[in-house]
Amino acid sequence: MAKRRWAKHCTAHRTDGTPCGAWSITGGSVCRSHGGAAPQTRRAAHLAYTEARIRREFEAVAARRRREWINWQAKRVATVALLLGIPVTEVREFDIWWCRVEYGVPAPAEEAPEIRPDRRFKLPPPPGRKKTTTKGATA
Ligand SMILES: [Zn+2]
């Protein structure tokens, strides 16, 4: 997923009392001038941003899984209704089971769509530490 801009303004105030209004650091509520450069602030902001990002991604995946499951279940019920010649509103769990035994369709409940975890749920590296590379370093 592409990085989304953390479009929030700094909540701190200048010495003359007016609000700062500069862009806050990603995940945080203050700009670099108002404490956003401090390591503990950066860590907390990174944690907040990561949590928000993962939560958003997971909710999107869960919503997709719900849609897939509803479509999958609707197809099962429609198949059974067609095979038995009954309205879809009268299909019972037993009818699905019976058609599964008698005709080999619809698919069993174990084959229902599942949430597939992927790399989007992995934590990104914390801020502040640049990757040290030994490549090109010659003694
Ligand atoms: Zn500020």
Q: Tell me the CA–centroid distance for residue 39 and ligand 1, in Å.
A: 16
Quote the tokens at residue 43.
Answer: 């860590």
Is-contact 82 91, C-beta < 8 A?
Answer: no
For the chain, how are helix, strand and coil distributed in percent, rounded to 5?
A: 50, 5, 45
Q: Tell me the CA–centroid distance for residue 42 and ligand 1, in Å.
A: 14
Q: Tell me the CA–centroid distance for residue 68 and ligand 1, in Å.
A: 45
Q: Tell me the CA–centroid distance for residue 3 and ligand 1, in Å.
A: 22
d(CA 27, CA 50): 8
Q: What confidence tens digit (pLDDT) does each residue in 47-89 have?
A: 998 888 888 888 988 898 899 999 999 999 999 999 999 999 9
Q: Give the pLDDT of residue 133.
A: 59
pTM of the model as a whole? 0.60
Percent of the chain with pLDDT over 70: 86
pLDDT bucket at 139, cuts 50 / 70 / 90: very low
Q: Is the pLDDT of residue 112 over 90?
A: no
d(CA 17, CA 95): 72
Residues in the chain: 139
R_g (Cα) of the chain, nearest Å: 26
Q: Is the pLDDT of residue 136 over 60?
A: no
Q: What confidence tens digit (pLDDT) does each residue in 19-58 have?
A: 999 999 999 999 999 999 999 999 999 999 888 888 888 8
Q: Give the pLDDT of residue 138.
A: 53
What is the overall mean pLDDT for the chain? Answer: 85
Smallest CA-to-CA distance from 6 within 35, 36, 38, 39 is with 36
